[in-house]
Amino acid sequence: MNIFTNKQRVLFITGIISILLLAACSNENSSNDSSDTEKSTTAWDEIQEEGSLTVATSGTLLATSYHDTTSNELTGFEVEVVREVAKRLDLEIEFKEMGFDEMLTSVQTGQVDIAANDIEITEDRAENFIFSTPFKHSYGIAVVRKDDLSGIKTLEDVKGKKAAGASTSIYMQIAREHGAEEVTYDNASNEIYLRDVSIGRTDVILNDFYLSSLGVNAFPDLNITIHPDIKYSPSKVGFVMNTENKELEENVNRVIEEMLEDGTITKLSTQFFNADVSYEADIE
C-alpha cells in the first residue's frame, strides 16, 4: 500500500535534499575554517612557540663568526649582534655552522631562520631574500703578497690571477668579472686563505676591509698585506631571512634599530673591529 500522497512524497524528498546540502555546507565551512587556521600560523608564530631562533653562521670568519682560542666558544661581531637580538625578543638561539655557500640555501629551504656571516646586501640577493636593516658598512680591498703585491697594481690586474674565496660571495663575483681564476674552499679558516696567498698557491683575496685588516694583522709572519691602492664597492651587511618571514623581519628590524640608536652596535663593532662600522665608510 502506498502510504504517501504525491504531495507528501515531494516534501519528504525535498527535506532529505536540504539535510544533505546543509551537511555539505557544514563540511565545506569546516574545511575552510581549518584551512584559514593553517594559513594564520606563520613562521614567526612557530619561532615564538619553540622559543628559539636557528641561525646559520660559519664559525671560521675572524671577527664576525669564529671560535675563541681560549674557550673555544663561538663568538664574533655578528654572533654577538644576533645573540642580543634574540635576547631582546625573549628567544633562545641555536647556531648551525656551515660553509658560506650553504647558508643562503638553508635560509631559502627553511632549515634556518637567519643567516649571519657578513653577507652583503645586493640587488640580486634582495630579489630572493629578506635583508634586515643594515648594521655594518664597509668596502672591498685586495689582500696580496707583501713583497711584490702579487704583481697587481689595479683591480683590473687580477685578470689571470688566482683569487681565493667563497664561490657565491660578492667578492668572488667581482673577481670573476675581472677575469680572475677562481679558487674556492669548503668553510676554511682565515689562516688557510691567507697562508695560500703568502706561499703563492693563490695570488689575491678580494674581501671586506675590516675583516681583511684583522686577518692580516693576526698573522704578522705571513708575506701578506692589504693593497695600498685598491678600494672599491662600498657595502652594507644585514641578516638574511626567507621572503615569507615578514613578521620575523619586522621584529628583527625593530630590535636592530633600537641597538643602533642605543649604541649597542657601535660598542660591539668597536670590540671586534676596533672601529665603528655602523655608518657608511668614505673610500675617496
How do residues 104-151 score in pLDDT, each as one tens digit? 999 999 999 999 999 999 999 999 999 999 999 999 999 999 999 999
- 38 vs 68, residue with greater confidence: 68
Of the candidates 42, 59, 55, 56, the residue with the CA atom closest to the CA atom of residue 188: 59
CA atoms within 13 A on the CB side of 114: 30
Rounded to 10 deg, the angle between the 264-273 and 77-88 helix axes is 160
94-106: average pLDDT: 95
Spatial CB neighbours of 248, under 8 Å, sequence gap ≥ 6? 43, 44, 47, 113, 114, 241
Residue 105 placed within a domain: yes
How far lies 99's CA from each of 18, 29, 165, 168, 283, in Å?
62, 47, 11, 10, 29
Residues 245 and 158 in one domain: no
Residue 153 placed within a domain: yes
**How confident is the model at residue 40, as a pLDDT?**
53
Residues 70 and 186 in one domain: no
Residues 229 and 207 in one domain: yes
Spatial CB neighbours of 134, under 8 Å, sequence gap ≥ 6? 121, 236, 237, 238
Residue 164 placed within a domain: yes
Q: What average pLDDT is seen over the chain?
A: 88
Residue 1 has pLDDT above 50, yes or no: no
Q: How far apart are CA 183 and CA 197, in angstroms?
A: 11
> b/e string for 235-244 if b means 16 or more Cβ within 10 A?
bebbbbbbee
How do residues 171-220 score in pLDDT, each as one tens digit? 999 999 999 999 998 888 889 999 999 999 999 999 999 999 999 999 99
Residues 70 and 187 in one domain: no
Residue 2 placed within a domain: no
Residue 160 placed within a domain: yes
Number of domains in the chain: 2
Residue 84 placed within a domain: yes
Residue 1 placed within a domain: no
Residues 80 and 211 in one domain: no
**How confident is the model at residue 91, as a pLDDT?**
98
DSSP 86-106: HHHTT-EEEEEE--HHHHHHH
Residue 166 placed within a domain: yes
**How confident is the model at residue 284, as a pLDDT?**
67
**How confident is the model at residue 188, as a pLDDT?**
85
Asked whether the beta carbons of 265 and 259 are under 8 A apart, the reply is: yes
Query: pLDDT exceeding 70 applies to what percent of the chain?
Result: 85
Q: What is the DSSP letter of 279?
A: S
Residues 194 and 254 in one domain: no
**How confident is the model at residue 4, as a pLDDT?**
46
Rounded to 10 deg, the angle between the 246-261 and 43-50 helix axes is 70
Of the candidates 31, 46, 61, the residue with the CA atom closest to the CA atom of residue 248: 46
Residues 191 and 66 in one domain: no
Would you state the torsion angle of the CA atoms of residues 216, 219, 221, 225, taken in this order, to the nearest 10 degrees? -10
**CATH, residue 126:** 3.40.190.10
Residue 279 has pLDDT above 70, yes or no: yes
Residues 261 and 196 in one domain: no
